[in-house]
Amino acid sequence: MADPTETTSVPDLSIDLAGIAMRNPLMTASGTSGYGPEYAHLVDLHRLGAFVTKAVSPEPRKGNPPERVVETPSGMLNAIGLANVGLERFVEEKVPFLESIGCPVIVNVIGHSHEDFCNVCARLDPIDCIAGLELNVSCPNVADGLDFATDARRLEELVHTVRPEVTRSTLIVKLTPNVTDIAETAHGAIAGGADALSVINTLQAMAINVDTWKPRLANRTGGLSGPAIRPVAVYMVNHVYTAAAREANVPIIGMGGIATWRDAVEFLLAGATAVAVGTALFIDPRSPLHVCDGLADYLTKRGLSSVRELIGRLG
Ligand SMILES: Cc1cc2nc3c(=O)[nH]c(=O)nc-3n(C[C@H](O)[C@H](O)[C@H](O)COP(=O)(O)O)c2cc1C
């Protein structure tokens, strides 16, 4: 007869992200796998903990002119400019597919004003298949973008205004690393009523063509992502966790250069409850599934029964 005190050989990967029940902590990072159909033929979406869409704004956006993406050492620089189909086409054309994917859906939301964010959230919150709304408050690559995320008070006001529109789904606020102290904006988001935080968005950066003496991106500057930013992201997750989120019991979605299970473990130990994979999808679209399998093996080898035992356990 099996010893009931023995640690089960299949570790429990499930987590609760402020009300979103996820079968594992692996998510996609916004903007790196479209609205789902672009990615679904490469990966079984139902094996993910959650799928995060690219940004949705009130009106359609064409985004920036090319070049919009350049490769950098251990990273990638993008200035897509939040190109998207806009709210109404998203609801009509993209939601029916998202209803069928078999994992929680989180929609990334952008806007230029309180009213924009409120209108998009009010329209999306009642839709059953949408489990979370992630406010992208830091539009680093859009010339006309208001940057709510660099000022803690403005961020708190924005989240406070949007909060009443989000009654059914989980309200997530995505923080920018382009600040002096990310704990201050984390405090602002939490004070405004955020249920969860995404940490981090891309780092503002630039690459220059030495033949033409011009920026390599048409937008001049862009957002840096990929393994190059991972240590920055791990630090910021840990800082937000210890200075603001742990005490408030607000879970963190950690992201920034995650490509392997080791990277994911770093983020979990630093204080993340879930982890998102973005730039690594362009190299291996199945990487979140490999990370998930590696995480399960790691837990088994260490005799741990649940992934939750790793969260915030940095010594
Ligand atoms: C091509 C590209 C497009 C992105 N688009 C969005 C977006 O629409 N909304 C958003 O909040 N973040 C966007 N991001 C940021 C990512 O979601 C993520 O926060 C960042 O890239 C760090 O993770 P990574 O290093 O795993 O890519 C984008 C990143 C890339 C590379």
User: Do 81 and 219 touch, CB atoms closer than 8 A?
Assistant: yes
* Band (267; pLDDT cuts 50, 70, 90): very high
User: Is 241 a residue whose pLDDT tops 60?
Assistant: yes
User: Is 184 a residue whose pLDDT tops 90?
Assistant: yes
- Kindly name the residue from 103, 118, 139, 292 that is annotated as catalytic: 139
Of 2-11, 69-78, 206-215, 252-261, which range is least confident?
2-11
Which residue has the least CA distance to atom 23 on ligand 1?
256
Ligand 1 centroid from CA 71, angstroms: 14
Side-chain half-sphere exposure of 75, counting CA atoms within 13 A: 23
Ligand 1 centroid from CA 136, angstroms: 10
Ligand 1 in reach of 256 Cβ (< 6 A): yes
φ, ψ of residue 165 to 5 degrees: the values are: -80, -15
User: Is 2 a residue whose pLDDT tops 50?
Assistant: no
Rounded percentage of the chain residues whose pLDDT exceeds 90: 92
Ligand 1 in reach of 278 Cβ (< 6 A): yes
pLDDT value for 170: 98
Of 26-35, 84-93, 147-156, 160-169, which range is least confident?
147-156
The tokens describing 151, both together, are 């000022």
Mean pLDDT of 13-29: 98
Q: Rounded to whole angstroms, how far apart are CA atoms 313 and 17?
A: 18
Mean pLDDT of 74-90: 95
User: Is 71 a residue whose pLDDT tops 70?
Assistant: yes
Predicted TM-score (pTM) of the model is 0.96
Task: Quick: pLDDT tens for 126-147.
Answer: 999 999 999 999 765 554 445 6
Ligand 1 centroid from CA 198, angstroms: 11
Ligand 1 in reach of 81 Cβ (< 6 A): no
Domain 15-310 in CATH 3.40.50.10600: no
Ligand 1 in reach of 31 Cβ (< 6 A): yes
Query: Among 28, 32, 175, which is best to mutate for testing ligand 1, by the most ligand atoms less than 8 A from CB?
Result: 32
Rounded percentage of the chain residues whose pLDDT exceeds 70: 95
Ligand 1 centroid from CA 255, angstroms: 9
> Is-catalytic flag, 139?
yes
Query: Among 30, 109, 230, which is best to mutate for testing ligand 1, by the most ligand atoms less than 8 A from CB?
Result: 30
Of 87, 66, 74, 13, the closest CA to residue 231 belongs to 74
The tokens describing 126, both together, are 């009642």
Ligand 1 in reach of 78 Cβ (< 6 A): yes
pLDDT value for 158: 96
Of 28-32, 81-85, 100-104, 185-189, which range is least confident?
81-85
Ligand 1 in reach of 277 Cβ (< 6 A): yes
* Band (3; pLDDT cuts 50, 70, 90): low
- 3-state SS, residue 312: coil
